[in-house]
Amino acid sequence: MSAGARGWDDYAPFYDWENARTMGRRDVGYWTRFVRGRRGRVLELGCGTGRLLLPLAREARRVCGLDLSAEMLARAAVRAARRARRDRPAMIRGDMRRLPFDDAAFSTVIAPYGVLQSLTDDTDLSATLGEAARVMKPGARLGIDLVPDLTSWASYQKQVRFRGTLSGEPVVLVESVRQNRHRGLTMFDEDFRVGRGRTARRHQFTLTFRTVPMEDMVARLSAAGFVLESLQGSYRGATWHPDAGVWLIHARRQ
């Protein structure tokens, strides 16, 4: 397991709580438009708790989400159980470096919200792009969302990032950020404190992400068998530039 894959089971109880305060639903419309009207199967890599997966399942008939974290998928399953059976996506626990699917099984694959950045070395990234190409039909579309240049973020120690409540209990996120700029790695040391006073419970873990320059990512896609279609710098289709708020890539399987 790569370093970036660790910590996600620990993060699962807090993932939706934190992301409601950071990403929210800003990217949902973008990805539902990306899959709308597509024939064939759609695969989301790193589907997590189903934040995107369930909206996607309303737009495409055959949607599948894959994630390595059993705890994340358990929460996605609870969400899916509230939907009509026709709107429930398939969910599979698996490793995106070794996809458990047949060749040419999908017409669309998406890797949203920086999921490819949890791959912390060249070997894992190349394996994942190669596997994505293998399970895609010729001409199938690939969509990738990257968090821009995490290595430019300032390091800090034990900052209170968010306060709120979760399941009726007070929650505080105390976060530290460390950098290994030589390797392009950014480490988030998370400390979720649940409850009050001396009885508060602490949940501590680290999430590691890697920044790959856009030109490097485009070259890797070409090597894996993809043709670049477009680069975008916002969820509304703005032109990409290095300082854009998001880095979005559209490519096709050769």
pLDDT digits (tens, 9 = 90+) for 171-215: 999 999 999 999 999 999 999 999 998 899 999 999 999 999 999
Are 68 and 97 contacting, i.e. CB atoms less than 8 angstroms apart?
Answer: no
**Residues 23 and 68 both lie in one domain:** yes
50/117 same-domain check? yes
Say yes or no: 205 and 229 in one domain. Answer: no
Residues 39 and 84 in one domain: yes
- Whether 139 and 218 map to the same domain: the answer is yes
Integer Cα distance of 26 and 8 in angstroms:
22
Distances (CA, A) of 31 to 55, 113, 166, 175: 9, 10, 28, 29
Same domain, 64 and 166: no
- The answer to whether residues 106 and 116 belong to one domain is yes
Q: Are residues 108 and 140 in the same domain?
A: yes
Q: Does 186 share its domain with 241? A: no
Question: How many structural domains is the chain composed of?
Answer: 2
pLDDT of residue 2 exceeding 60, the answer is no
How confident is the model at residue 9, as a pLDDT?
95
| Closest by Cα among 111, 125, 139 to 249 | 111
> Distance (Å, rounded) from C-alpha 224 to C-alpha 7?
28
Same-domain status, 64 and 174: no
> Residue 19 belongs to a domain with what CATH number?
3.40.50.150
CA distance 61 to 204: 39
Q: Percent of the chain scored above 90 by pLDDT?
A: 90
Whether residue 238 is found in the same domain as residue 140: yes
Report which DSSP code applies to 238: P
Which tokens is 150 given? Answer: 């995490």
Residue for token pair 């505080």: 172
Cβ neighbours for 66, distance < 8 A, ≥ 6 positions apart: 43, 44, 45, 46, 47, 91, 92, 93, 94, 96, 99, 100
Whether residues 50 and 174 fall in one domain:
no
Q: What is the pLDDT of residue 62?
A: 94
Q: In Å, what is the CA distance from 228 to each residue of 69, 147, 183?
A: 30, 19, 26
Query: Which residue range forms the structural domain that includes residue 124?
Result: 3-149+211-253
| The pLDDT value given to residue 17 | 97
CA atoms within 13 A on the CB side of 92: 15
Predicted pLDDT of residue 1: 43
The pLDDT, as a whole number, for residue 150 is 85
